[in-house]
Structure 1
Amino acid sequence: MKIEKNGSNTLIQTMINQGIEYIFGIPGAKIDQLFNDLKNYPDANKPKLIVARHEQNAAFMASGIGRLTGKPGVVLVTSVPGVSNLATGLITATSEGDPVIALGGQVPRNDISRLTHQSIPSRELLSEATKSSYEVEMADNISEVFISAYITATSPKAGASFISIPQDVLAAPVEKEAIKRFDLPDENAEATTASLNKVIEKIKNAKFPVILAGMRSSEQRVTDALHHLLSRFSIPVVETFQAAGILSHQYEHHYFGRVGLFRNQMGDTVLKQSDLVITIGYDPVEYEARNWNASGQREIINIDTVDPEITNEYQPSLIIKTDLANTINKLARLLPQGLKIKETSNQIIQKLRYQFDYEEPDFKFKNPDLLNPLQIIEALQEFADDSNIVTVDVGSHYIWMARYFRSYQPRQLLFSNGMQTLGVALPWAISAAILNPDKKIISVSGDGGFLFSAQELETAVRLQSNIIHLIWEDNAYDMVKFQEEIKYNQSSGVEFGPVDYVKYAQAFGAEGMRVNSQQELSEALRAADKIQGPVIIVIPVDYSANTQLKTSLIENTTN
């Protein structure tokens, strides 16, 4: 079959050359030629098209690919409102460091500046939601523009790139060849020995050094390097939500909780005991320094691939901008044999360790007929193993999961903490299931967040995605509700009506279950594990102790 050499086919060949495997999208008149040419393209390596049910969710699916693989996920939509529906998904990806390339249809070039049907400045609209926003002006440049978007999306800090493609560009003839595979240069730089010796001197002089591991520490090679460092030097590690799982079972004794919301977690206590915080791949969008260094007096070493954002509360005494994995491995090699934290600090660590591992939180749950969050997490923790990727939506359940659910592999417990975007869990789970068809993916949402992207249950059924989705049901936007109650002694605008989610699941062709006890939940998880395709498990939840999440569950200091 002869391939017409036009803008559309050149773009497809460019994506093939770059190893793009999946495209998530919704068609429309301004972009339908690309959909049609993709269907007819004879190369078996062409990207697989996955039709979504909403553009925002398609963007979430693309960002799920980006987060899990480190390579850009691609989303393809038509002109307005297809393009405008991308905004939330793209700004979430950009904030949280997930590489995405968004392709949006546009009116023909001679209509762009006219007040004609569906003509809006798409490039300008999405420029604030992305790292870069392009508009293809000539079909001969379409391959170059895609490569530029690819480089921008994957370069630190990773994020989203948008390409506006006028309708007539897709059909226009192209003379130039599609750009061949372009591999980004290997990140092999490492910090100088002199700068790392400065780090070692600061560690030697510190009374209580702590590592704060952020989102960019969750790349597997960086996690491996961190394990190498911990094998040489025992130091407490605090994770951000997006760094969840960077410590394996072998190094679990270094784990002192996660930080990402409210100043009363175990991780906060450890950071506030510290006189030296070594941040690795930390991004302030995850948990601002004012939450753990309000006085601005704590010494900080910043090790990252990007320049830090300097604030009154975040003024590192040493900044090392370099490849994380190579630098941490080199630091581990340079550490003197037998280096240990001072004994007085070790006693504090052991006390905190005991509190963290053995002292049960005294939550006051009021309804014994409903499952409480800790019971749900206990059942889920017993069911899940290291092979299960767990995606978590935003809501009260997300706070409980972030604090109490353990994970031992990087990028297998996924949170939206930069933007705290509702609706991400199910689309992310679909992406995870595409990449891991032989594994069970666990997705967790509240009943509020679920309906932000619940139409993608049809997509999951169509793909036969092996997803177990848990809905924590309370008929309210409870994360807002309990914070309103703390601030105003009342809540407002947070309640909504009930939905029969079991029937909802069945209407889409999925399995639906409802449980009313911890034993029933455990049994439902085991049953769902044997079912091919998506399963919804509805869990009425007792959130009566949520206000305690905002109070000092553990000792809290002012700085």
Structure 2
Amino acid sequence: MKDTKTGAQALIQSMINQGIKYVFGIPGAKVDQLFEGIEYSKDPRAPKLIITRHEQNAALIASGIGRLTGKPGVVATTSGPGVSNLTTSLITATAEGDPVIALGGQVPQDDIGRLTHQSIPSKELMSSATKSSVEVQNANSLSEAFANAYQTAVAPKAGATFISLPQNVLNGAVDRPEIKAVPTVDQGVADAATVDAIVEKIQHAKLPVILAGMRASASDVTAAIRELLQHAAIPVVETFQGAGVVSRDLVTNYFGRVGLFRNQVGDNLLKQSDLVITVGYDPVEYEARIWNADRTGDVISLDSVVPEITTDYQPEMVVHADIAKTLRAIVQKLPADWALSEEVQAQLDKSGKTLAAQAEAPAADDQHGIHPLAIIQALQNKVNDETTVTVDVGSFYIWMARYFRSYQPRHLLFSNGMQTLGVAFPWAIAAALERPGQPIVSVAGDGGFLFSSQELETAVRLKLPIVQLIWDDGAYDMVKFQEIAKYGHEAGVSFGPVDYVKYAESFGATGLHVDHAKDLAATLDQAFQTEGPVVVQIPVDYRDNLKLKSLLLKDVLS
């Protein structure tokens, strides 16, 4: 007689086989066997169960794992609202290329479609939020479903997958063996003729520029870009998700980040370039209708994903191949003596000085709060190249994206596809789990922080060294300054004050408040030296925010 196990046990073994380290979520009756099995597993390889305080945050932590590691994070919830609360996080992960596997409980199969407790069409609901959404019909199929969800989640373009687990299927008997570890699917290098054509275009271009996008931040792609830059000093412009592609020793090739508003040094460089090489670029980061408007010259798309063609983005060459392998092939073919002209190099030197000057903080004026650049400079002085900084959405995220330097990929994290409020603190939890040994910094506004701040309890419970900075101004300011730019006034953006020091202390965390710019450095020192989560409330002076708005495309204020 064959040995049998439950569907839940088979699913746990499938996670072990695929190397899943954590499962984040909130329990419920439809998934209690899965949670019990993980919690009391005697297998040391079983994933660690981490209970959160909201399903949306659980999925955001899982997506943070996906972004940091390139391997899927896993979230598990019960049926009904447990599943529906995942929607925003999974849409964000899919849009921004973060691999996630979501496991959602479901009522027993004979109750699906009936007006019973917590019965909703989970598979259908999640089909528009994920790359794939399936409902398992037989317990023997659970391992296959998980393996395929894993493979789909990591395949370019990475994103979220969803598996609906009817209660009777999860509790049913399994007599099939589980799927073994899913092998990595490798793409090939571009053929020799294509590589030769790229090299020829670079050689004949006056000002070739690399636009490094989200998939450029994969470790192998970043390494290949750096090899190319060591061989040939091509200027690089990063998207927000491409932050950290240019290392500190290659910083002379860095010309800033672009996104949202077309008024940066990098935007001007792209406009002047007669050859833009987009590497792992995704239009959700920064639409071509903004950066590619009113420019002439060729575009080469080098990506593991076939690009979306629009009237604003019609590359002369589309190279669908392994990015890192193709970049290394270019390095092999590009002559070692190739260089930009002295005239172009002088122009780039001038642009580099302009970029550096923009980051200088003005004189302190504590009467109106602390200037964004002063906060950024104080933080910059505190971190090292291995510090992970997660950034929420708000006016501060534009300041951080433009002026905070990062020299390692996927160490400065932004939600620039969906601009989802509340991402920073869950991502910081993921970073603290995956990158132990030093503090993790989370940056949020007083609006977005409260979207996920209940996870302070989770961070306290896990004793995670997270320093949470809150830029406090009493408004949804990213909307506010754009309203003022459009209409000359604001509407519906203000809210009441919160004492975040007391709020942090109520969770068992440490709370600190900064009153003056001169106290920033000492307060950050204290925060970094304190065990466990620390919340630092900083009154911010946003009077210079109108300088963030678009100057070249006045109609683009989104």
| TM-score (ref. length: structure 2) | 0.96
The residue that corresponds to 2:94 in the other structure is 94
Q: CA deviation at 1:33?
A: 1.5
Distance 1:39 1:235 in 2: 52
SS in 2 for 1:157: coil
Output the amino acid matched with 1:98.
D
Q: Is the contact made by 1:208 and 1:275 (CA closer than 8 Å) also made in structure 2?
A: yes
**Structure 1 residue aligned with 2:534:** 535
- Asked whether the 8 Å contact 1:122–1:164 carries over to 2, the reply is yes
Q: Paired residue for 1:23?
A: 23
SS at match of 1:499: coil
Percent of aligned pairs with the same amino acid: 58
The answer to whether the Cα contact below 8 Å between 1:365 and 1:545 also exists between their aligned partners in 2 is: no
**How much does 1:342 deviate?**
2.7
Corresponding residue for residue 511 of structure 1 = 510
Cα distance in structure 1, aligned partners of 2:544 and 2:362: 6
Counterpart for residue 150 of structure 1? 150
Structure 1: 5+ residue stretches without partners: none
Residue 368 of structure 1, CA deviation = 4.1
Instruction: Report the Cα distance in structure 1 between the residues aligned to 2:312 and 2:110, rounded to whole angstroms.
Output: 51
Is 1:247 matched up with 2:275?
no
Q: Cα distance, 1:297 vs. partner?
A: 3.9
Q: How does 1:78-477 map to 2 (within 5 A)?
A: 78-187=78-187, 189-295=188-294, 297-358=296-357, 368-477=367-476
Q: Could you tell me which amino acid in structure 2 is paired with residue 235 of structure 1?
A: I
What SS does the corresponding residue of 2:529 show, helix, strand or coil? Answer: coil
Q: Give, as a single letter, the amino acid of the residue that structure 2 aligns with 1:178.
A: E
Deviation at 1:74, TM superposition (A): 0.1
The answer as to whether partners of 1:364 and 1:544 remain within 8 angstroms in 2 is no
Shift of the 356–138 alpha-carbon distance from structure 1 to 2, 3 Å rule, reads same
**Paired letter, 1:268:** D
The offset of 1:224, in angstroms, is: 0.9
Deviating above 6 A after TM superposition, structure 1's stretches of 4 or more consecutive aligned residues are 360-366
- CA deviations on 1:491-521 (whole Å, 9 max, x unpaired) are 1111000011000000000000000122311
Say if 1:144 and 1:179, in contact at 8 Å, map to a contact too: yes
- After superposition, the C-alpha distances for 1:105-132 in whole angstroms (9 at most, x for unaligned) are 0000011121222111100001000000
Contact 1:296–1:314 under 8 Å retained in 2:
no
Instruction: Give the partner amino acid of 2:163.
Output: I
The one-letter code of the counterpart of 2:161 is: S
CA distance in 1, matches of 2:380, 2:361: 20
3-state SS of 1:243 partner: coil
The Cα shift of 1:261 comes to 1.2
Deviations 1:117-165 (A, max 9, x none): 2111100001000000010000010100011100100000000000000
Shift of 1:345: 2.2
Does residue 74 in structure 1 map to residue 74 in structure 2?
A: yes
Residue 45 of structure 1: CA displacement? 0.7
Q: What is the Cα-based RMSD across aligned positions, in Å?
A: 1.8
Q: 1:441 to 1:405 in 2, by over 3 A?
A: same
Q: Residues 381-421 of structure 1: CA distance to partner in whole angstroms, max 9, x if unpaired?
A: 01111121000000011000000000000100000000000
1:267/1:319 Cα in 2 relative to 1: closer, same or farther (>3 Å)?
A: same
Other structure's SS at 1:31 match:
helix
CA contact (8 A) 1:263 1:291 kept: yes
* Pair 1:472–1:86, CA change in 2 (3 A): same
Q: What code does the residue aligned with 2:158 have?
A: A
Alignment of 1:486-501 (within 5 A): 486-501=485-500
**CA displacement, residues 239-283 of structure 1 (integer Å, 9 cap, x when unaligned):** 000010111111000000001111111111111111110000000
Name the aligned partner's letter for residue 544 of structure 1. R
2-side partners of 1:32 and 1:362: how far apart? Answer: 53
Structure 1 residue identity aligned to 2:99: P
- The one-letter code of the counterpart of 2:448 is G
| Matches of 1:530 and 1:364, distance apart in 2 | 28
* Partner secondary structure for residue 257 of structure 1: strand
Does structure 2 conserve the Cα–Cα contact (< 8 Å) formed by 1:149 and 1:162? yes
In 2, Cα distance between equivalents of 1:45 and 1:360: 47
**Change in CA separation of 1:89 and 1:442 when aligned onto 2, cut-off 3 Å:** same
User: In the alignment, is the contact (CA less than 8 A) between 2:366 and 2:516 conserved in 1?
Assistant: no
Distance in 2, Cα, partners of 1:418 & 1:440: 27
Match of 1:524 in 2: 523
What are the superposed Cα offsets for residues 158-206 of structure 1, whole Å, 9 maximum, x if unpaired?
000000000111111111111122222344x211121111111111221
Query: What is the CA distance between 1:366 and its match in structure 2?
Result: 7.2
SS of 2:85's partner is: helix
- Indicate yes or no: 2:524 matched with 1:545: no
Determine if the alignment matches structure 1 residue 5 to structure 2 residue 42: no
Task: Report how far residue 553 of structure 1 moved.
Answer: 9.5
The number of residues matched between the two structures is 553
Q: Which amino acid aligns with 2:354?
A: Q
In the aligned structure 2, how far is the partner of 1:361 from the partner of 1:177? 61
**AA in 2 matched with 1:20:** I
SS at match of 1:30: helix
Note the C-alpha offset of 1:551. Answer: 4.5
How many angstroms apart in 2 are the aligned matches of 1:464 and 1:276? Answer: 49
Q: 1:325 to 1:452 in 2, by over 3 A?
A: same
Q: Please tell me the residue identity of whatever aligns with 1:252.
A: V
Q: Which ranges in structure 2 are unaligned for 5 or more consecutive residues? A: none
